[in-house]
Structure formats: structure tokens, C-alpha cells
Copies of this chain bind each other. A is one copy, B any other.
């Protein structure tokens, strides 16, 4: 199975992993730095080998929307035309395989890579559209429940680490940080989930959680 948080290409999509591994140059970033910025020229494509990344978009007055979270195996930086419309930042120390966009153009004959990029694009779009539905038409509780479900390995009661903080969750879900916190507390009070610290949780009752996710 793919890790549920992963939204781009997974390592189990062999074409991608192989193509990026084969072509890519290794690169590392520490926690909390910008990989590329909003409105910067989109030159490189990043295959995430380890760590976690968020993509964010700012409004002029500072309101922030997180587009997506990425983890091991995801492909980052494809999402745009000539210019990035989201910035990407590391949530933890990360290592990548990086390939130049231009080299992709040149690689016209490379079907394996072409397919992988097409597939990654498709997934990115699918994700965005799914996200749309949730931002437009669901309650805070449904969003948080859905989010936790998307992160925890399905039907497992194992402890899961959240790579992002509460503010990141809030900006992803289109909620205030206090609302996220309250909702999580409420789920915990209902004995549907259980947190140990604010970065680790386990699902106690999947049926209840899925009911709440609509």
C-alpha cells in the first residue's frame, strides 16, 4: 500500500522512482526552509526521498492556504507552468532527487519518465479536486476527521506521527487553529482517537471516525 498522506507519485509507482533515481541529482534541505517560492521560475522537479513538505499560497494580507502535504516518494514542483504558483517548504529535514525541467523536455523519447510525470500530474489534479469539495461543502468536524483518516494507515490502530503542526493543519483545512484544536480535543473526548503529545495519535474507532468524515 501507498502511504495515505502521499499525494503525488509513490515509490510503488516504479516508473517514477526509477526515472527520478536514475536521472536525479541528490539534494538535501534542513527543516523549515523554502525549496522554491511562489512566483519563482519553475526550473526543477523534486522527487522526495525522505522527510515531509508543504506547498503554500499566500493572499496579499497574509491569509495562507496550504495546497498539499508531501512525503517520501512524492514528486514536487510539477504543478505549474513556467512559474510556481505555490511555494514549497520543508516540514522536516528532507532529501531529494532533483531533475531539470528542461532535461525532461529534451527527453521526449523517454516514455517511462513521460508516463510518470503524466501520472503525477493526474494525481495532483485529483487531489486538488477532492480538496475543493471538502473546503466548499463540509463542516470543521468532517474536515478534521477526513484529514486524520487520510494520514493514518487504514484500519490500523498503530501510532501515527503528524509531520505538520496545528497551524499547518488549519491552513490546509481552511479553519482557524483554535477550531482544529477544539475538534481534535472533542474527537479525543469521544474516545474516537487518542493523542500522545500533539504530534502522535492513534485511531481507536475507525467506524466512528469514518462516519464523521461524511
A37 at the interface (CB under 8 A from B): no
> How far is it, in angstroms, between the C-alpha of A68 and the C-alpha of B30 when the chains are bound?
38
Q: List B contacts of A106 (CB < 8 A).
A: none
A207 at interface, CB cutoff 8 A: no
Q: Does A129 contact B (CB under 8 A)?
A: yes
Report how far A124 CA is from B59 CA in the complex, Å. Answer: 21
- Which residues of B sit under 8 angstroms from A79, Cβ to Cβ? 125, 129
Q: Tell me, yes or no, whether A131 is within 8 Å of chain B by CB.
A: yes
* Contact B60 A214, beta carbon cutoff 8 Å: yes
Q: For this complex, into which size category does the number of interface residues on chain A fall?
A: 20 to 34
Q: What's the nearest-Cβ distance from chain B to residue A98, in Å?
A: 21
Residue in A136, A137, A173 whose Cβ sees the most chain B Cβ within 10 Å: A136
Residues B132 and A128 in contact, CB atoms below 8 Å apart:
yes
Residue of B with least CB distance to A135: B135
A65 to B135, CA, bound (A): 10
Task: Evaluate contact between B81 and A129: CB separation under 8 angstroms.
Answer: no
Query: Among B59, B121, B132, which residue has its beta carbon within 8 angstroms of that of A67?
Result: B132
> Whole-angstrom distance between the alpha carbons of A79 and B132 in the complex?
14
Contact A137 B65 (CB under 8 A): yes
CB distance from A163 to the nearest CB of B (A): 20
Show the binding face of A for B, using Cβ within 8 Å.
57, 59-61, 63-65, 67, 79-81, 85-86, 121-122, 124-126, 128-133, 135-138, 171, 173-174, 214
A-B complex: 7 closest residue pairs judged by Cβ atoms: A136-B174, A135-B135, A128-B128, A65-B136, A63-B137, A65-B133, A135-B136
Ordered by A's residue number, 21 sampled pairs between the chains whose C-beta atoms are within 8 Å are: A57-B133, A60-B214, A61-B214, A65-B133, A65-B136, A67-B129, A79-B125, A79-B129, A80-B122, A81-B122, A85-B126, A85-B130, A121-B122, A121-B125, A128-B128, A128-B129, A132-B135, A135-B135, A135-B136, A135-B174, A136-B174
